[in-house]
Amino acid sequence: MTGAAESRVMRSIADNICAMRQQIAGIAANCGRDPDSVQLLAVSKTRSADELRQAIEAGLRAFGENYLQEALDKVAALQDQEIEWHFIGPIQSNKTRPIAEHFDWVHSVDRAKVARRLSEQRPPHLPPLNICLQVNISEEPSKSGCLPQEVPTLAREIAVLPNLRLRGLMAIPAASDDPLEQRRPLAALRQLLEQLQSEHPALDTLSMGMSNDMEAAIREGATIVRIGTALFGPRPTKQKESP
């Protein structure tokens, strides 16, 4: 392990959250945005319920999970907490019911069938499920997300479903360490949202920006940044990482 990675592990989750809050506020101020217009979503895949409790004590209440069974275990373990749960991973259409029952947001809807099932299965006593349409903005083969040209039709189909509330768009652009390269797909997603807003004026969410491209994402208008590594340290290598 390198020295830098090690010191990130050693710093507490609370310290990382505090530093991240300041960083987000600094970037937002720097590009003339209200810092409160950028929500920090803690991506807690592979993290234990205890680690989430540390983050909750440091003031976070929104968590993003990718793997359904792992997420449901944490939902059960943390029932005593006021948590806003976001599902951000790939969705199998036969696994929509627990998502509809236990989550507040789903960022990874990329087809109408999944949206219809989530709406049908949303329990009537809960408010509508907040939805972002995931877009394969870099048009990478075999990646999740609908194609940019499919967005208008899918948005129309989702907008009429009674138990869903379409909020905006989400993307995981092709990874790059070059800030200029990073901005291109992020800007494309923002433009897609702007076009969509002429037909759906209530849309207010751009879910984009991870530990590596957060600054570029905020500059391009992100309203939710999804941050894992920079808060909790490097993940165990059990699941595949972006290249």
Ligand X SMILES: *Cc1c(COP(=O)(O)O)cnc(C)c1O
Distance CA 131, CA 105 (A): 6
Check residue 46 for interaction with ligand X (CB under 6 A).
no
Instruction: Tell whether residue 17 is a contact of ligand X (CB under 6 A).
Output: no
Neighbours of 144 (CB within 10 A): 17
Question: What stretches of the chain show up as alpha helix (H) in DSSP?
Answer: 3-10, 13-30, 49-57, 68-77, 96-102, 112-121, 151-159, 179-199, 214-219, 229-232
Contact stretch for ligand X (CB under 6 A) within 111-119, 155-163, 182-190, 207-215: 207-215
Q: Which of 8/219 has CB closer to ligand X? A: 8
Residues ≥6 apart with Cβ < 8 Å to 61: 81, 82, 83, 84
**Which C-beta is closer to ligand X: that of 152 or that of 175?**
175
Site for ligand X (CB under 6 A): which residue of 43, 60, 161, 203?
43
Name which of 35 and 234 has its Cβ closer to ligand X: 234
The reply to whether 66 sits near ligand X by the rule CB under 6 A is: yes
39 binds ligand X (CB under 6 A): no
Work out whether the CA dihedral 142, 47, 232, 224 comes out positive or negative: positive
Q: List, in order, residues 6 or more apart from 242 with CB less than 8 Å away.
A: 172, 175
Identify the CA nearest to 101 among candidates 144, 68, 67.
Answer: 68
Q: Which stretch binds ligand X (CB under 6 A): 4-12, 54-62, 67-75, 206-214?
A: 206-214
- What is the closest distance, in whole angstroms, from the C-beta atom of residue 46 to ligand X in the complex? 9
Per CB under 6 A, which of residues 71..90 are in contact with ligand X? 88
Rule CB under 6 A: is residue 144 a binding residue for ligand X? Answer: no
- If the CB atoms of residues 123 and 179 are measured against ligand X, the closer one turns out to be 179
Of residues 39 and 211, the one with the C-beta less far from ligand X: 211
Dihedral, CA of residue 97, residue 206, residue 148 and residue 128, to nearest 10: 30
| 229 makes contact with ligand X (CB under 6 A) | yes
Binding to ligand X by residue 172, rule CB under 6 A?
yes
- How far apart CA 197 and CA 178 sit, in angstroms, is 29
Q: Which is nearer to ligand X, 52 or 123 (CB)?
A: 52
> Among residues 186, 240, 207, 39, which one has the least CA distance to residue 109?
207
Residues within the interface to ligand X (CB under 6 A): 43, 45, 66, 88, 172, 210-212, 226-230
